Amino acid sequence: MGLLDKLSGWLGLRKKEVNVLVWGSITAAKPPSSTNSNHPIESHAIIFVIDSGDKLRMVVAKEELDTLLNHEDIRNRKMPVLFFANKMDLRDAMSSVRVSQLLSLENIKEKPWHICASDAIKGEGLQEGNMWRNLEWKRALESRRMHRLWKVSLSSGWFPENR
C-alpha cells in the first residue's frame, strides 16, 4: 500500500467535495512540461510528495515545485501546501529539514505550508500531515466566513461592534 492509498483514507471527506492536488512522486518520471494540466483550477490544497532518499532528483523536484507554485491558477491563491518527505525509512534518506532547505521552502511566503517526514509503507507521518491540513482548512473556512460576514455587514449597515 503506497502513500496515495494511505492518504485517501486520511483525506476521507465524504460530506463535501474538496479537491486536493497531489504532486511530486507521481510526476517525478515525467518531464516538467507534463505539469501543465487543468487540475490546479479545481484544487483547494496541494500535497507535494518528495522521495527523500533520492538526492539526484531534488533539482527536478525543485523545478516542478517552482513550476507548480507559479502556475496561473495557483500563484495568487492562499491554498495550503503540505509536503511529505517520503521514504524516511531509508538509511540514506534526507531529513525533512534538509529537504526543506533544498527546495527553498522558506521562500514560500504567500501560502501556508508544512513538511512532514513520512514512511508510506508504515503510515508514519501521515497523521501529522493530515492534522495540519485539517487545521489549515478550518482556518481558511473561518477566514472566508468572516470575510463574507464583513461584506454583508458593510452592505446592510450592520457592524460587528454594534451588536
Distances (CA, A) of 42 to 8, 18, 45, 86, 160: 17, 9, 9, 25, 33
Q: Is 38 annotated as a binding residue?
A: no
Q: Is 89 annotated as a binding residue?
A: yes
With helix as H, strand as E and coil as C, how does 5-28 read?
HHHHHHHCCCCCCCCEEEECCCCC
d(CA 146, CA 144): 5
Distances (CA, A) of 112 to 26, 62, 78, 90, 132: 22, 18, 7, 28, 10
Q: Are strands 113-117 and 81-86 parallel, antiparallel or unpaired?
A: parallel
Place of cell 490544497: 45
Annotated binding site for GTP: 86-89
Annotated binding site: 86-89
